[in-house]
Amino acid sequence: MRTEFLPFSPPLIGPEEVDEVIDTLRSGWITTGPKTRLFEEEFSAYLSAPGALALNSCTAGLHTALVALGIGPGDEVITTPMTFTASVNVIEHVGARPVLADVEPDTLNVNPAKVAAVVSPRTRAILPVHFAGHPADLDPLRELARAEGLQLIEDAAHSIPAKYKGAFVGSANTPAAFSFYATKNLTTGEGGMLTGDPEFLDRARVVSLHGMSRDAWKRYDKGGTWRYDVVLPGFKYNMTDIQASLGIWQLRKLQTFQARRRKVVAAYNRAFCSCEELELPVERPEVEHAWHLYVLRLNPASLSIGRDQFIEELTARNIGTSVHFIPVHLHPYYRDKYGFQPDQFPVAYRNYQRMLSLPLNPRLTDADVADVIQAVIDVTQQFRR
């Protein structure tokens, strides 16, 4: 058994990121400026996206997208219960009503058929979440959005660099919001990116910085002007050049990071595939999984303990884990406001009760991976029915 605790998902920061941050600090330009623009350009080029807007979080990206698309009071936005609460909070922030649709049993992404069943005259948008880095089934969602005249806004917090049918998530003209939180595949500490059509991003850029017609760089760089107009009551969502300095190198290393993630996933799959007590995550043939999370699901009929005790046993063996996620409809705010019942979304609810996420990050050594495998198998064997 390990003698030191293995954290669930620490970042991997190298000397290149450190040097870039120091260069930024010495440059005198530490807020939104040239390195933020460079990060936007390199990010959109990496995805072959039509454009990119760097922000201070994925939450900011989703909120900005909703505002820029004019979604507000009286509108409904359909999303998934199997997500972090930020995906739904932003719908509340604009005064719209979140409508939940249950998930598919294999990927735990929102089920397009369930989405179609809850479209109403008030529906304005569909907000799928690419759970754990596995792309949602976008084609039927896109077709539904076209047929019903709805906006499609992708929560791609887990999804750099996932692909759907050969194209990167975030490469379409429709909005997609990415997260660069400390645990993500690419990190800027805190931060995010919104991709989409350039005309949409022009509106979103104004929304994201106080509703001003000019951003800070244009006002204070050589040739800029102090004059600006406030055209709407916007927000303070811009990314700084300090954050972008991290992101530039994290993006350049992403292919290497992903190769390591895939090796860890392959090792987990080989070790656990013959354990009937465990259900492994899937990767459909038409996608490339980003492998932000490795989500195991326990088979309750084969074990004498539940998920919570399984996690406690792993913690006792110095293995860090997490649960992604507590479904939205179980949280008191949403449960009480909308009268949700636990089994109202049965696929999400039942899978939540038996899921846990194992360590998955490029810092893991082969010895770390072996320790995780040993601990999981040890708990499984000890509590096998």
Catalytic residue among 163, 184, 218, 263: 184
| 163 in catalytic set | no
| Cα→Cα distances 230→66, 72, 176, 216, 351, Å | 19, 20, 26, 13, 47
CB-CB contact of 203 with 181 (8 Å):
no
For residue 194, give the H/E element and its range: strand 192-195
Tokens representing residue 300 in the block: 């309750």
| Cα→Cα distances 303→163, 266, 273, 380, 385, Å | 35, 24, 16, 7, 5
CB-CB contact of 24 with 242 (8 Å):
yes
Tokens representing residue 194 in the block: 């919104």
Counts of helices then strands in the chain (DSSP H, E): 14, 14
Where helices occur in the chain by DSSP H, the ranges are 15-27, 34-47, 58-68, 86-93, 112-117, 138-148, 198-208, 216-220, 241-252, 254-272, 307-316, 332-338, 346-352, 366-382
Residues identified as active-site: 184
